[in-house]
Amino acid sequence: MISIATDPQMRGQSFTWDLWFEAGRSTRHGRICAQIDTVGGAGAEIIGPSGDQLGVRINNQASVFDVPTIGTRSSSSPPDHWGTAIETFHRNAGPEHLVFTHDASRKTVRIFIGLEDQALKLSFESTYTGSYGVSDVPLAIGNIPPAGRVFAGRVYQFTYYGRALTYEVDVDRNVTGGEVHANHLAGDAATVPSTKLAASPGGHYISYKRKPLLLVGDSGTQVVMQNVNVNYRQWIGDCADRGIRAVHVWSFTAPRQKQDSSKIEARYGYVYPGITPWARKTSGPNATDQLEQWDLQTFDEGSRGDSTHYWPRLRDLCSYAASRGMVVGITVFFGWPKHDSSSRPDWSYHPLNRVNGGHLTDNEDVAIIASPGTEVWQEAWSDSWPAAKKTQWIWERFAKKLIDETAAFGNVFFVFMDEHSYSDGNMEHHFAAFFRSRGMVWTDQGSMRSTVDWVYEKVTGSDDKNADTVVEFNRSPARPFLMLEKGPYMGDGARESIWTMAVGGGHYLFHADERQETVRTGIMGYDPYVPGGDKGMYKRDWLGHASRMFNEHVTDLDTMAPHNELSSSGTYCLADPGRVYVVYSKSGSPTAFELDLSQAAGKMLACRFYDPRKGRFQPPFQLRGGGTVTLTKPGSEDWAVHILRVDGRESSRPAR
């Protein structure tokens, strides 16, 4: 217990209270750092009244405290003067971060508040006149007697600092830097239940907002961050409405077109407004696309909220996805410099190419840096540097910018490079450390399994992807296994790919920009100017049906692992045997199949067939466990069946 009067370090000095808590009932008020047994007493105090507002008081004497203009409250018994914060706190919504700073020299009070998986905001700021009130007011967290106050019993950690912590905010009052920001990003410490993106406790699935997920999602590949006419909000909304929990994009690919229409990308059919992370120069020679060259020392910032510029667009994409409960994957490198031929002139349009404002002439040099393991981004640019150091500086500044712009949303994971079908140079370990040391989720190929968070690997291009997925699931150490690009991209085979991978415990993201019904079917359909554009929506329907099964109807996903030994040939089983099963029977396989339920001996099991084409359950029925049973699916097409112990007691132990 600390008393404001008896502890000199607190008496009229600058200080910060940094608190992680959860707010409960809205019918009771509570307080932080107040007198224990009654509301009142002189000294600093934060009060949560009934409802969801928050107030602050420096002193209870009106003669020395000017009531802030941002909301007021005053009562005569006891005297109580405080200002209501702009942002409300969130009840029953998970860990909340609240920072209260008092700058004694400037007589300024600030409140910062925000949920752990959202941006922290400067919620309240005001100055006062007169002396700072001092009295023997114990520093207490919550109003313990009487019990039931909003903060009591829900405080995870409290830190006192004998100074006002530093901070930086943007125009929207989001905290973007300083000590306050660092503390917010560190909120997933052991004492605070994490809501941020991570691997699940079992290691195979994704944990987001304290819930395990199997990602079945849609990839907008390079298109979303390349063409500003693509309506990414509509795309995300369509996915969210269908129960899809993940989207994925490439960080950039430069437009491969010419302004005089002598070169047009077939997927778009017209000269579209294209962007990259970098701004254009304002003078000098043109790039291959007949616009000004790229300025690799200047980012394409634009004005706030202008989605025709790269960074506002990326921020809004991640923010909007977070508001819809969705995860965003971003493939970072290398902007697709793979081909350098007249038929596939990708390198000719790449920003690092000398003709486009860069410093390189060879496309393979985009993956070569000067000092792996030693960062250079803080150094001042020098034209005298060797090419490899210039490349490293450009990539590190880009990587740091990606982290700075997206970390606060808490829903973003990063992928090293597209495909791994060309050289990754000497950058792989360097950037794994770069992103992970800054708290970001990093994904790379299986050979990096021990030093990354999640892995992705190539799987078979055939419809049935279960065997490859099960092999990856069973590798050690356990990591979520993702597929980011592999056909088929249309027809019933795409649906079989989704389900055979999902029941193998793998995460499936559909590559939505090529080899579909037409050259303009897929994510390009979200550009209203694409002639004959088609969103290919039936595939998003199928993705949503699978996502809803594993993320809404299965309630304890992290206990489940592939158990194909329990089911007949032509069917695949993901299960926590004896408790919960999801079985997928492929189209054309026998209508009747067997399932071993011996580990559910003596238990009643609730069963429902699920239509992967329409996302609908058939009428429920029950089985008694204890042996092998024969199940008959409703038809010869593909069907899934969800089986759960009737008492609903799925295990709390993660699958290993």
Which of the following CATH numbers is that of domain 198-264+301-338+402-553: 3.90.1150.10, 3.20.20.80, 3.40.640.10, 2.60.40.10? 3.20.20.80
Q: Give the DSSP letter of residue 37.
A: S
The domain segmentation of the chain, as residue ranges, is 2-188, 198-264+301-338+402-553, 558-645
Ordered DSSP codes for 429-483: HHHHHHHHTTT-EEEE-GGGGGGSSEEE----SSS--HHHHHHHHTSSS---EEE
Write out pLDDT tens, residues 448-469. 999 999 999 889 889 999 999 9
pLDDT tens-digit map of 158-178: 777 778 898 988 888 889 888
In DSSP terms, 101 is beta-bridged to 16, 110
Mean pLDDT of the chain: 84
Q: What is the CATH number of domain 558-645?
A: 2.60.40
Whether the predicted pLDDT of 67 surpasses 50: no
- In DSSP terms, which residues pair with 611 in a beta bridge? 616
Tens-place pLDDT, residues 555-611: 889 999 999 999 999 999 999 999 999 999 999 999 999 999 999 999 999 999 999
CA distance 221 to 249: 4
Which residue reads 């849609």 in tokens? 218
Burial class (CB in 10 A: 0-12, 13-18, 19+), 351: buried
Give the pLDDT of residue 140.
47
The DSSP code sequence of 194-235 is: --S-EE-TTSSSEEETTEEE--EEEE-TTTTTTBTTS-HHHH
Q: For residues 278 and 357, give the distance between their C-alpha atoms in angstroms, rounded to a whole number.
A: 11
Over residues 228-277, the pLDDT tens digits come to: 999 999 999 999 999 999 999 999 999 999 999 999 999 999 999 999 99
What pLDDT, on the 0 to 100 scale, is given for residue 129?
A: 61
Q: Which DSSP state fits 426? A: T
Q: Is 555 within 8 Å of 650 (Cβ atoms)?
A: yes
Please state, in angstroms and rounded to a whole number, the distance separating the CA atoms of residues 355 and 484: 31
How far is Cα 616 from Cα 610, in angstroms, rounded to an integer? 6
Cα dist from 269 to 220, 244, 290, 534, whole Å: 18, 29, 18, 13
The pLDDT, as a whole number, for residue 24 is 55
Taking the whole predicted model, whether its pTM rises above 0.85 is answered as: no
Any residues with CB less than 8 A from the CB of 378 and at least 6 apart, and which?
A: none
Does 425 have pLDDT greater than 70? Answer: yes
Residue 612 to residue 576: CA distance in whole angstroms = 21
- Listed in order, strand segments (DSSP E) in 61-120 are 73-76, 79-84, 96-103, 108-115
Model confidence at 123, in pLDDT bands (50, 70, 90)?
A: confident
For the segment 386-396, the average pLDDT, to the nearest whole number, is 99
Grade residue 187 by pLDDT with cuts at 50, 70 and 90.
low
* Contact in structure between 353 and 340 (CB atoms under 8 Å): no
Distance separating alpha carbons of residues 158 and 30, to the nearest angstrom: 16
Q: In what order do the strands lie in the sheet with 96-103?
A: 121-127, 108-115, 96-103, 15-21, 155-161
Q: Which class is 2-188 in CATH?
A: mainly beta
